[in-house]
Amino acid sequence: MNITSLYPQWVFTHGPALLVVLPLMMAVITALLPSKNAVGAKLAWLFTLGTVVVCALLAFALLMQVISHGPVSYAMGGWEPPIGIGYYIDALNAPILLLITVIGTLCMIYALPSIAAEVEPTKRALFYSAFLVSFAGLLGMVATGDAFNVFVFLEVSSISTYVLVAMGASRDRRALTSAYNYLMMGSIGATFFVIGIGFIYMQTGTLNMIDIARVLQDGGVDSRVTKLAFAFIVIGLGLKLAMFPLHTWLPGAYAYAPSFVTAFLAATATKAALYLLLRFSFTIFDPSWDFVAKSLMYLLAGMGIVGMMVASLQAIFQNDIRRVLAFSSVAQVGYMLLGVGMVTTLGLTAGYLHMLNHAIMKGALFIAVGAFWYRFGITQVSDMKGLGKTMPLTMAGFTIAGLSLIGVPGTVGFVSKLALVRAAAENGWWWAVGVIVVTSILAIIYIGRLIEQAYFHPAPKIGNKTVAKNEAPLAMLIPLWILAISAIVLGINAEWTTSLAEAAAHVLSGGPIVEFPHAVGGH
């Protein structure tokens, strides 16, 4: 049976717009809810959870539609592109939309106890409202087919995220400094990006992505303006992506934000930025152009390799668990950029696959770390002693995700790292194969430290009494174990995720899209 037949037709007609409009509308309603008591906070949580669940169902329906019938386009207000703003869902961004909404759903389940412990009661409704704005911004920047709209949603998501990070000040005042640093770096990245969009408009006279690609194909490839546009866009998105050495905002933001925010951002924000880098580099510009090809190969792959090594080494010497995982994220971004920089179908497939798999791994790891803090206030590596005995289920989920990050066979990390090795070998980049192996060994060291503390040390004592087993709440264990089990199931049978990555790579390797798809909605 065709899954799309289970959905009403309006889902496919208006789904692309609803994905963005619904959370924005609900953000306003949630902000107006009373926050002076636990009932108001619980109501805000229920509204937010319901919204992200509906968005997840919409994203799944759109992915099935793309798989079964091809790309979906939507003309906002009935104004056809390039005059109006169009949303365009294809095999490249449909999996990202599903990823963001599913991770958002799991994190919202986790948020019930987590936010109650980390955010002041009077701020919880506003917190959930800010999250919905950030959530809508991420979905908007992935779904839109208009270049300036990308900038708008990028800022919508970023500004609300700065607020979410700053709300970690209730637990650690350093969250304010981290949010300010994130604001400064994010503003610089957004400025570079919008300048690049300005140069594109100067060259092409249009902001619709498909129209831009067509105009650039007709001429203007060798224009200095086109080259400047590409340079500014890559730098701007590289900063949002936390590409080494533009990653300095990330460790602080991940370490001191509320645990819920860290888990959501680590699994989604950098993935959305990588999607934009892929969209602009391969379907608006053209990797066959000399300056694009050299940028991808020398800049992205080069910085990816350096980031893999340097960030992995930095992770080894961190004492804060969250900073260990934050630097690990910078290294994992390097893996993705390495695949992209190969500019081959196999390399793009491997990089895209690692992006999907990393969201599963890192989401589980940060959810578990939040649970450690929730029960015992643990943030330091040395404080993890005996956690395998005091929080066995939580630590087991953390261990599975950690082993996947290392790349142990039977996990999603192994699948995507093996794909990267194959792609590098096919390209003749044996030095890259060596770097992948070395950085995986470094991952054994920094993840191994955490596992060793938990399982090879006795549980701590209070006086003469050993700390009793005190597992994380069910609302934290459910999303943790859904992700941990996914890391194993999709590691043993990776056919579905690999097929999604191959379809995305096919879109990218097909070059710029130079024909308008038929609009199915917005009339």
Q: What's the start-to-end Cα distance of the chain, in Å?
A: 29
- The pTM of the full predicted model, rounded to 2 decimals, is 0.90
Token pair listed for 269 = 């924000």
Q: Which pLDDT band holds residue 466 (cuts at 50, 70, 90)?
A: low
Count of beta carbons in the 10 Å neighbourhood of residue 462: 8
pLDDT of 374: 86
In order, the DSSP letters of 212-261 are HHHHHHHS-TT-HHHHHHHHHHHHHHHHHHT-TTS-TTHHHHHHHS-HHH
Could you read off the pLDDT of 251-297 as tens digits, one per residue? Answer: 878 888 888 888 998 889 889 999 999 999 888 888 888 888 888 88
CA 237/CA 361 separation, integer angstroms? 23
Q: Between residues 397 and 386, which one has the greater pLDDT?
A: 397
Query: Which residues lie closer than 8 Å to 122 by C-beta, 6 or more apart?
Result: 35, 36
Could you read off the pLDDT of 17-53 as tens digits, one per residue? Answer: 889 999 999 999 888 887 676 677 788 888 999 999 9
Cβ atoms of 133 and 24 closer than 8 Å: yes
CA 500/CA 498 separation, integer angstroms? 5
CA 234/CA 297 separation, integer angstroms? 13
Token pair listed for 144 = 């839109």
Adjacent-strand bridge partners of 88: 73
Could you read off the pLDDT of 350-394 as tens digits, one per residue? Answer: 999 999 999 999 999 999 999 988 888 888 888 888 888 888 899
Q: Which pLDDT band holds residue 516 (cuts at 50, 70, 90)?
A: very low
Please check the confidence at residue 417 and state whether its pLDDT lies above 70. yes
Q: Which pLDDT band holds residue 518 (cuts at 50, 70, 90)?
A: very low
Look at the block and give the residue holding tokens 């390399």. 347
Determine which helix (DSSP H) or strand (DSSP E) holds 462, and give its type and residue range: strand 461-462
In order, the DSSP letters of 47-105 are HHHHHHHHHHHHHHHHHHHHHHH--EEEEGGG--TTTS-EEEE-TTTHHHHHHHHHHHH
**493 burial level (CB within 10 Å; 0-12, 13-18, 19+):** exposed
Q: Could you state, in order of their start, the residue ranges of all structural domains in the chain? A: 3-509
Q: Between residues 216 and 443, which one has the greater pLDDT?
A: 443
Nearest Cα neighbor of 358 from 419, 425, 448 is 419
Report the chain's C-alpha Rg in angstroms: 22
Please check the confidence at residue 71 and state whether its pLDDT lies above 60. yes
CA 105/CA 348 separation, integer angstroms? 28
Look at the block and give the residue holding tokens 């395998």. 388
Look at the block and give the residue holding tokens 């379809």. 503
Could you read off the pLDDT of 323-357 as tens digits, one per residue? Answer: 999 999 999 999 999 988 888 889 899 999 999 99
Could you read off the pLDDT of 286-313 as tens digits, one per residue? Answer: 888 888 888 888 888 888 899 999 999 9
CA 426/CA 356 separation, integer angstroms? 22
Q: Which pLDDT band holds residue 521 (cuts at 50, 70, 90)?
A: very low
Could you read off the pLDDT of 145-183 as tens digits, one per residue? Answer: 888 999 999 999 999 989 888 887 777 788 888 888 888
| Share above pLDDT 70 across residues of the chain, in percent, rounded to a whole number | 93
Please check the confidence at residue 78 and state whether its pLDDT lies above 90. no
Average pLDDT over residues 229-234: 90
Please check the confidence at residue 226 and state whether its pLDDT lies above 90. no
CA 343/CA 282 separation, integer angstroms? 9
CA 403/CA 12 separation, integer angstroms? 39
pLDDT of 4: 63
Q: Between residues 13 and 127, which one has the greater pLDDT?
A: 127
Cβ atoms of 392 and 470 closer than 8 Å: no
Q: What does the DSSP 8-state code read for residue 288?
A: T
- Cα dihedral 239, 312, 406, 135, rounded to 10, equals -20
**99 CB-side CA count, 13 A:** 33
pLDDT of 2: 62
Please check the confidence at residue 12 and state whether its pLDDT lies above 60. yes
Average pLDDT over residues 203-209: 85
Please check the confidence at residue 100 and state whether its pLDDT lies above 80. yes
**397 CB-side CA count, 13 A:** 28
Could you read off the pLDDT of 420-460 as tens digits, one per residue? Answer: 999 999 888 888 899 999 999 999 999 999 998 888 877 76
Cβ atoms of 328 and 334 closer than 8 Å: no
- Which range, of 136-140, 191-195, 245-249, averages the lowest pLDDT? 245-249
Token pair listed for 492 = 């043993």
pLDDT of 220: 61
**Cα–chain center distance at 239:** 14
CA 196/CA 208 separation, integer angstroms? 14
What does the mean pLDDT of the chain come to?
86
CA 353/CA 144 separation, integer angstroms? 22
Query: Which residues lie closer than 8 Å to 226 by C-beta, 6 or more apart?
Result: 199, 200, 203, 216, 220, 285
CA 327/CA 307 separation, integer angstroms? 9
pLDDT of 105: 94
pLDDT of 5: 65
CA 201 to each of CA 145, 147, 148, 216, 415: distance values in angstroms, whole numbers, following the listed order: 15, 9, 9, 11, 41
pLDDT of 461: 62
